[in-house]
Structure 1
Amino acid sequence: MMTIIEQFKTNLIEDGKSTNTVQSYVGDITAFLKYLGTMGVGFDGVLKRFYVTSYKNYLVDNSYEPATINKKVNSIQAFNNFLIAKGYMQENVIELKRDRVKISMGSEHQVEVYTDNQLERI
């Protein structure tokens, strides 16, 4: 019997997703399920909203970049949609507007900081 992850991977391939997308989504979901395992949760095919928010908070607390967190949330949403389509669960627990990390305008680039000597010369 195929695991849920293998079924998800097969589904992504059948949907025509690129090899990189498939690897990215499967990697993100594998990491998410490992995180749940470290929290003592045995995944049974049903996502709970608490799992998603807990994982997102874990990523934020461990200084993941907002773009990386949002990519992982997108992967979990694709997994959630797969679980619904395959009948494992009934509801969508991901709300992108609420679950994605907000990026302040202009903060997506590194900010250059001048030393005191550089400021004096300016």
Structure 2
Amino acid sequence: MEIEEFANWLFTEGKAAKTIESYVNDVKGFQSYLQEKLKDVPVLSRFSFVRYKEHLMKEGYAISTINKKVNSLKVYNDFLRTKGVVNESIIQLKRDRIKIAAGSEDNVDALSDEQVEQLLFFVENGNKVSTRNKLIVYLLLYTGVRVSELVSIKIADIDFLTNQLAVIGKGGKRREIGLRKDVLQ
């Protein structure tokens, strides 16, 4: 029952469906750990949280996955506080998230200047590349939109007076992106 209440609370807080699903699954994972390993412990306590985090680390979960679960439990902690089940912030992200050593984050491969030149040279060839595909490359290269955002862009999303493109991103959030003149063309 409490999980359903949590999901409803997240919905009223304006969270996206995927976010709610993710938080709920993380809390269910925590609760099943509690039932399995710490039978006498209340729902969420500093002790149970620390044990759970240690368990995740021992199981070899990626740091990013553990931090996501910590974040979900922090939101759950907030929910339990609004209901009066717990009266303190048991989880504090600053203290409880696992710090990632600088430089060890996942490396993102970016195109070199030379590779960008080659790509642009290739897409300029009208015989080989359609205008549509050229535009796709331009938008990805010059705006930083996600592919999932790119596929839903329509002409109506462009404000030709201000050279702005309106994009609906993750969680249904809308943002405006400035467009270069050549991309606008």
Normalised-by-shorter TM-score class: 0.7 to 0.9
- Greater strand fraction, Structure 1 or Structure 2: 2
**Equivalence for 1:53:** 50
Q: Which has the larger radius of gyration?
A: 2
Q: Give the number of the structure with larger relative contact order, counting CA–CA contacts within 8 Å between residues 6 or more apart.
A: 1
Runs of 4+ in 1 over 3 A off after TM superposition: none
Partner amino acid, structure 2, of 1:24: S
Aligned with 1:23 (options 21, 24, 36): 21
2:90 aligned with 1:107? no
User: How many angstroms apart in 2 are the aligned matches of 1:42 and 1:74?
Assistant: 24
Structure 1, unaligned runs of 5 or more: 111-122
**Normalising by the residue count of structure 1, what TM-score does the alignment of the two structures yield?**
0.82
Mean Cα deviation higher: 87-96 or 8-17: 87-96
User: How many angstroms apart in 1 are the aligned matches of 2:40 and 2:64?
Assistant: 28
* Identity of matched residues, %: 44
Q: Which secondary structure does the structure 1 equivalent of 2:81 belong to? A: helix
**Root mean square deviation, CA, Å:** 1.5
Cα separation, partners in 2 of 1:34 and 1:58, compared to 1, 3 Å = same
Counting matched residue pairs gives 107
User: How many angstroms apart in 2 are the aligned matches of 1:76 and 1:102?
Assistant: 17
**Equivalence for 2:83:** 86
